[in-house]
Amino acid sequence: MSSMAALSSIFIHGGCFSRFQDESKSLKMRKMATRFSVVSSAQKSNKSIKVGILGASGYTGAELIRFLANHPYFDISLMTADRKAGQSIGSVFPHLITQNLPDLVAVKDADFSSVDAVFCCLPHGTTQEIIKGLPSSLKIVDLSADFRLRDINDYAEWYGQPHKATELQKEAVYGLTEIYRNKIQNARLVANPGCYPTTVLLPLVPLMKANLITYENIVIVSNSGVSGAGRSAKEANLYTEISEGIFSYGITRHRHVPEIEQELSNAANSSVTISFTPTLMPMSRGMQSTINIQLAPGVSVQDLKQQLTRFYENEEFVVVFPDNQSPHTKYVQGSNSCHINVFPDRIPGRAIIISVIDNLVKGASGQALQNLNLMMGIPENTGLSCMPLFP
């Protein structure tokens, strides 16, 4: 019996954890914070799921390793990094030197014969052909943008090249966990959302579905830490270029715009167009979106807050503040949490929503692990119930 099949038997048939057998049980399970101590390789289950990380030398790869170290059922058996092939993870990320992990290999030399699932942390535009060549038995969570846009023509327009895995695109499920949980559970390929879209969609999708806001005049300004640009050396990301200042980029043409509009249009059953401006902040990690919206006729700001509170009341990782406190990126740093609050605008009929996440966790690796947990029938908070880092 394969490791994946054996573990599936334990979860689904053995009675330890059901595969979300009923909604009330799953909601209770998600709301209850489950704490795990660091799991050593000796303590890992001998029925563990073997996981590969493609692109392990980047920030999202490092974050996955950090969370998987606390995961009792996932065991990293393969890591790739073409430019770092042959090196240990401790030489690439010294903070991970205590982890007993396989050396990095080039993707072309990777052996997937004993791997059950893969996190793909490769750059946009390189992922499609690699995933297309992977064994069809693998469960895959792709952290790039290559499978997020359902319309391949949109992909070609915004990413400047034709999609090279159109058949795979048809089966990809968009991985905004709290919104598409049921589809993710049964998916083979999940397209992990972008960090900016995660901060925007978590508050807006429930409001769109409830017809509490209009589809016009949605204005979004999002601020991101520099880690969102990745680990590759870039002149624009040098300390002297970034520190003691902020600047906006990708104005009117940022690649996350079609992703946000796609999901808002799906929630509204109508075409939605947004104004979106991303801004780079002189900090390592963290993301805040300030969303200005128009209320539907007869709707109050309190109605928005009540809808979000009801929608997320059983969600462990999404918190709607009950008072007038403004969310702060410091309060979610290092965690898989999203904090949201709604405020009345001084302009009648409008509201301001503030949403914050850690761009490397809920905006990338944490949500990816949350999704793979679901895909494997494991309680989705497994390995993720860690407190934020503060200060």
Other Cβ atoms closer than 10 A to 331: 18
Other Cβ atoms closer than 10 A to 229: 15
Conformation bin of residue 47: beta by default, left when phi > 0, alpha when psi is -120 to 50: alpha
Q: Which of 120, 121, 195, 338 is catalytic?
A: 195
Inter-CA distances, 270 with 200, 214, 265, 273, 295, Å: 18, 11, 5, 10, 17
What's the rounded Cα separation, in Å, for the pair 223 and 59?
18
Q: Cβ(67)–Cβ(365) under 8 Å?
A: yes
- Strand, coil or helix: 274: strand
Q: At what angle do helices 366-375 and 59-68 cross, to 10 degrees?
A: 50
What's the rounded Cα separation, in Å, for the pair 73 and 60?
20
Q: Cβ(336)–Cβ(361) under 8 Å?
A: yes
Dig out the tokens for 275 from the structure: 């104004």
**Residue 195 annotated as catalytic:** yes
* Residues annotated as catalytic (active site), given as ranges: 195
